[in-house]
Amino acid sequence: MRQITVMHGPERRRRWSDEDRLRILAEAFAPGACVADVARLHDISTARIYTWRAKLRQQVAVPQFAEAVVDGPKPCNPASSSPVIVVELGSKGQVSIFAAASPDLAAATLKALR
């Protein structure tokens, strides 16, 4: 006579809600957290957590470039016709910042040149 072992209990193929996935991802990638520890805590593989993160990144893809809008030519103000800041870039040219430029634009330009 043969012996058969019947396994019973919760189904192994679990269905995770979006809220549960987001909560586990937040736990796993919180500062100082260890993905392996979070995976063990929830009895899932680390690969499952990384797969969820990759799928989330695909759904919430952030564009890498912003659209640029170019205005038409503006009337030249003779008082601001000479640049206030000129940055020489060697053989690549130069960057000029005029007095009419906003402080945010000047700061962004100088940060981009670092």
The domain spans of the chain are: 18-59, 80-112
pTM of the predicted model, to two decimals?
0.46
Find out whether 86 and 95 touch, Cβ atoms under 8 Å: yes
pLDDT below 70 — which residues of the chain? 1, 7-12, 61-67, 73-81
Per-residue pLDDT at 12: 66
Distance CA 72, CA 90 (A): 29
Q: Residue 72's CB: how many other CB atoms inside 10 A?
A: 4
Q: Is the dihedral of CA 27, 32, 35, 37 positive or negative?
A: negative
Identify the pLDDT of residue 99: 81
**pLDDT at res. 90:** 77
The CB density around residue 104, as the number of other CB atoms within 10 Å, is 8
pLDDT of 21: 95
- Give CA–CA dist 72/40, Å, rounded: 60
